[in-house]
Amino acid sequence: MSGMLSTGLNGLRAFQLAIDVTSQNVVNANTDGYVRQRAELATRPAVPSAGAWLASGVQVARIAREVDVYRVAQSRDAATQAQNAATRMQEIGRVVAALGRGQDGLPGALQRVRDALEALTAAPATRSVRVELLAKLDDAATEIRAVDARWRDFDREWGQRMTTLVGELNADARAIADLNRQIAIGAAAAGTPSPTLLDQRDQLLDRLAGYADLRVVEDAEGKVNVFAGRGRALVVGDVATAVKAEDFAADSGGTLGALASSRAPLLSGARDELGALAAALAERLNTTHAEGVDGAGRSGTPLFSTPVATVTPRSGNTGSATVVATLDDTDALTIKNYRLQRVADAWVLSRLDDGTPVPMSGSGSVIDPLRAEGLAIEVSGVAANGDGFEIYPTRELACDFTATVTDPTRVAAAASGLGPGDNGNARRLLLAFDSVAPSDAGTTLIDRLDRLQLRLSRTQQIAARDAEVTQVARADIDRQRSNVSGVNLDEEAARLLQLQQAYQAAAQVVRMSDELFRTLLDATH
């Protein structure tokens, strides 16, 4: 009978605990990051009694935290991908929009240059037509500069955002390291880790997954080691290591990877293209303009500033060499950047992106510069072996591209030797404008801009599709995760009823053991 009493009392205690756990689930049904818990009931160890083994009641064996670690990992991967695609879609969209569409922005400005050239062929000597042409050339140059300035603004903004995000990431990493410590202490004291702390840590990890690729490895103590981006250790045990924005690149995944990839290769590539377009415009029109004469018989001066390549010496160069690179032949230009390096007392040129060596002719002197892929490179001073220079032929051309002729009488519309009423050179200017390069017959400068715009738009469209697909995948895996870890109120209500009944029954067992005891007392009275 004392067994019956203690069994009943154990039951009351166990069911009370189980009801507590269920109540927790009910009230936290809408708490972010809450993982439902379940009291697992088990029989208490059996004891030998009257020659048989008799279980000694019920107990809560453990309070389980309902979590599926694989789904959690999948949901974090999905978050990384979805954030990456969403950010890319948004930012590439801004890059495309900066170019403008149709009659607005750069395509419209170039079209108006063409119109003004057409008008010049019809009325080459009319002052208002010449003034209009110069205004349109200036508009086009201004628009090219403006696009580049907007793009550089984006680049700066993305850099700042990366720094801010990395700051948040470092703060989260410190919080995780701290939680690691607390969880281990709690687990040592109570035998099981605190579910609330585990929920908090999981939530932080979920957030980190949006920033960059995340790898989470749990150790025997229950501490998580966290690696972000391209395997950079963020948290090891109780220690968080601060990372910098530069540690994240285009392949880092998440928002940081998306921002990094928007800066390079996307934006730097687009700036190279825009610079190449400006160089082609300048080269085509400047050369043709020089072939004609103005009203006073003077040869045409350049219509646009002459493009010069950007050369960056590598830090750590020991020689005294300086390098100047000019665009020798804009038709032969590839939209690539180069590394010029002194190896075994000779200059070696290679592409910056994939290291492909590029053969050169010439010696590097002023009269015989090194020539390769449309570039002419002059070297002065003495270079030491190992010295290097990075050459960006068109990267910085758009940012200070200017129209240089302001006097309408200096428009050389006439062919050489003819009067101001001749339109021979105006027609040649139009032809030059209409053909980018002999190798690219039938392509106008506007077509070329169109191709850049189309390429960027396609990239954005792909990112948009990625964003949609990854968003659906993320919602799907999050739903699965929530179906395991989230609370179902009907289920909890049913469980409450079930536990309430069990509690009542256990109370009856206690009452009955009391009655039996009383019967015995009465019998022996």
Partner 1 sequence: MRISTRTFLEQPVTDMTRLQATLGVTQQEIASGVRQSASEPATASRLGALDRSVARLAQYERNAAFVGDRLRSTETAIADAGDVLQRIHELAVQAGSGTLDGASRKLIAAEVRSLRDHLLGVANRIDPNGGYLFGGSRSEQAPFVEHWGIVQYQGDEALRAVEVLPGRAIADGVDGGAFAEIQAEGETRDVFAAIDGFASALESVADGSLSEQDFSASIADTLTISNAGIDHYVLLRARIGGRLATLDSCLSTRANIHADLLAQASQLRDLDMAEAISRLQAQLTGLQAAQLSYTKLARLSLFDYF
- The residues that touch partner 1, with contacts defined as CB under 8 A, are 29-30, 36, 101-103, 107, 111, 114-115, 118-119, 121-126, 295, 414-415, 418-424, 427, 430, 446, 450, 453-454, 457-458, 460-461, 475, 479, 482-491, 493-494
Task: Tell me whether residue 362 or residue 486 sits nearer to partner 1 (CB atom).
Answer: 486
Q: What is the DSSP string of 381-419?
A: S-PPTT-EEEEESSTTTGGG--B----GGG---EETTS-
Residue 222: CB partners within 8 Å, gap ≥ 6?
183, 184, 187, 193
Task: Tell me whether residue 87 or residue 460 sits nearer to partner 1 (CB atom).
Answer: 460
Type and span of the H or E element at 333: none
Burial degree of 382 (CB within 10 A; 0-12, 13-18, 19+): exposed
Question: Is the CB of residue 404 less than 8 Å from the CB of residue 302?
Answer: yes
Task: Tell me whether residue 479 or residue 511 sits nearer to partner 1 (CB atom).
Answer: 479
Nearest approach, Cβ of 355 to partner 1 (angstroms)?
32
Task: Tell me whether residue 119 or residue 325 sits nearer to partner 1 (CB atom).
Answer: 119
What number of other Cβ atoms are within 10 A of residue 163's Cβ? 12
Nearest approach, Cβ of 118 to partner 1 (angstroms)?
5
Task: Tell me whether residue 393 or residue 424 sits nearer to partner 1 (CB atom).
Answer: 424
Amino acid letter, 416? S
Question: Is the CB of residue 363 less than 8 Å from the CB of residue 357?
Answer: no
Nearest approach, Cβ of 32 to partner 1 (angstroms)?
10
Nearest approach, Cβ of 65 to partner 1 (angstroms)?
15
Q: What is the DSSP string of 197-216?
A: HHHHHHHHHHHHHHHS-EEE
User: Which two structure tokens, joined as six digits, stand for 351?
Assistant: 């592409």
Question: Is the CB of residue 3 less than 8 Å from the CB of residue 49?
Answer: yes
Task: Tell me whether residue 1 or residue 493 sits nearer to partner 1 (CB atom).
Answer: 493
Q: What is the DSSP string of 436-473?
A: S-GGGTT--HHHHHHHHHHHHHHHHHHHHHHHHHHHHH
Task: Tell me whether residue 123 or residue 249 sits nearer to partner 1 (CB atom).
Answer: 123
Nearest approach, Cβ of 297 to partner 1 (angstroms)?
11
Nearest approach, Cβ of 81 to partner 1 (angstroms)?
18
Task: Tell me whether residue 123 or residue 358 sits nearer to partner 1 (CB atom).
Answer: 123
Nearest approach, Cβ of 44 to partner 1 (angstroms)?
29
Nearest approach, Cβ of 140 to partner 1 (angstroms)?
14
Nearest approach, Cβ of 35 to partner 1 (angstroms)?
11
- Residues 177 and 401: their CA atoms lie apart, in Å, by 51
Task: Tell me whether residue 390 or residue 434 sits nearer to partner 1 (CB atom).
Answer: 434
- Residues 111 and 520: their CA atoms lie apart, in Å, by 110
- Residues 118 and 102: their CA atoms lie apart, in Å, by 19
Nearest approach, Cβ of 310 to partner 1 (angstroms)?
30
User: Which two structure tokens, joined as six digits, stand for 324?
Assistant: 């100047």
What number of other Cβ atoms are within 10 A of residue 346's Cβ? 10
User: Which two structure tokens, joined as six digits, stand for 283?
Assistant: 């080269």
| Residue 479 C-alpha from the chain's centroid | 25
Task: Tell me whether residue 345 or residue 490 sits nearer to partner 1 (CB atom).
Answer: 490
Type and span of the H or E element at 503: helix 489-523
